[in-house]
A = this chain, B = another copy of it.
Amino acid sequence: MKNQFITPDGYTSDIAVFTITSEQVGEYKPPKKELKIMLIKRSELDHEGNPNREAGKWALPGGFVRPGETAFQAAERKLAEETGVEGLKIKHFGVYDSPGRDLRGWIISNAHYVIANEAALRSRKKTYDASEIELFSLEEAVELDFAFDHRTIIDDALWFIKKDMALTTLAKHFLPEEFVLSELQGVLLTMLDDPSISTDAAFFRKAPTLPFIEAVCEDGKPKKSNRYSKTPAQLYRFNDFQPIVSVYRNKLQG
């Protein structure tokens, strides 16, 4: 161990921003939902007018972490700078540090995923850093030309999101504060393949007993909504219950 260590050439924070878009498919019908990822196209020139590495390719939003801040704080900052979005769920899921992953040198990427509900993303904007910013479905995304190892990072992010969706109340961040069961079901089905979710009778019987959601009341009466059906549907909200599951206790899928 020397006093003067060999140091990396850079430390970046990258963010895979996911959202679920709703496409209105008819009046009084649950909308068609689709998982999308937000990507930016790297501009030809950087802030100072120098040619940008990997220009023209698609990449995750992100950038260099500044001294005095953490990668998490950098993620918040970059997300605000590049997309104009604040106050979202940000979670670290991995570090990418293979030699050669970035031609500029030894650069370590601290990767995060972000869940945004559609409403939050409405405020997004273009900036000098991103010549283009766009939402892609995952089918579209596989066709793109990615900068660095961002394709791998995105694949991993997706895996972590699916896992967290099944094991935690992550779905909350894709939904509005108050939602109906078919909305929750729709969100879950974009990511998870499980008969206990896709079978209506099973889902509607089980969901109201889930300890981490609760029916919304107004003036002591159940609060209902007609936004997706003629029949008024009960509104629910997430509470703070943190569910715990175990492979030794519970019945397993597959």
User: Which A residues lie at the B interface, using CB under 8 A?
Assistant: 1-3, 5-11, 46-48, 50, 52, 63-71, 92, 94-95, 97-99, 106, 108, 110, 129, 166-169, 188, 192, 194, 196-197, 203, 206-207, 210-212, 241, 243-254
Establish whether residues B7 and A9, one from each chain, have CB atoms under 8 Å apart when the complex forms: yes
* Complex Cα gap A46–B9 (Å): 25
* Interface contacts beyond A2-B48, A194-B246, A245-B252: sample of 14 additional A-B pairs, CB < 8 Å, sorted by A: A1-B129, A3-B50, A6-B66, A7-B9, A68-B99, A70-B97, A71-B97, A108-B108, A192-B246, A210-B247, A243-B254, A244-B252, A245-B245, A245-B253
Least distance between A250 CB and chain B CB atoms (Å): 4
Chain B, Cβ-Cβ closest to A11: B8
A69 touches B244 (CB 8 A): no
Task: Write the nearest CB–CB distance from A162 to chain B, whole angstroms.
Answer: 10
- List, in ascending order, chain B residues with CB within 8 A of A7's CB: 7-11
A-side interface mostly: loop
Known: A48-B2, A97-B65. A243 touches B249 (CB 8 A): no
Closest B residue, CB atoms, query A202: B249
Copies in the complex: 2
**Distance in Å from the Cβ of A75 to the closest Cβ of chain B?**
12
Bound Cα distance A66, B106 (Å): 10
In the bound complex, what is the Cα–Cα distance between A202 and B39 (angstroms)? 50
Complex Cα gap A168–B247 (Å): 7
A195, closest chain B residue (CB): B249
Question: Contact check: which of B71, B99, B252 meets A67 at CB < 8 Å?
Answer: B99
Report Cα–Cα, A95/B6, bound state, in Å: 19
Instruction: List B contacts of A211 (CB < 8 A).
Output: 252, 254
Query: Bound state CA distance, A11 and B9, in angstroms?
Result: 10
Q: Are A167 and B197 in contact (CB under 8 A)?
A: no
Give chain B nearest CB distance to A77 CB in angstroms.
14
Set of chain B residues within 8 Å of A168, measured between Cβ atoms: 247
Interface CB pairs A-B, < 8 A, 9: A1-B47, A2-B48, A5-B10, A8-B11, A67-B99, A210-B252, A211-B252, A243-B252, A250-B251
Q: Output the least CB separation between A229 and chain B (Å).
A: 21
Cα(A206)–Cα(B98), bound, Å:
43
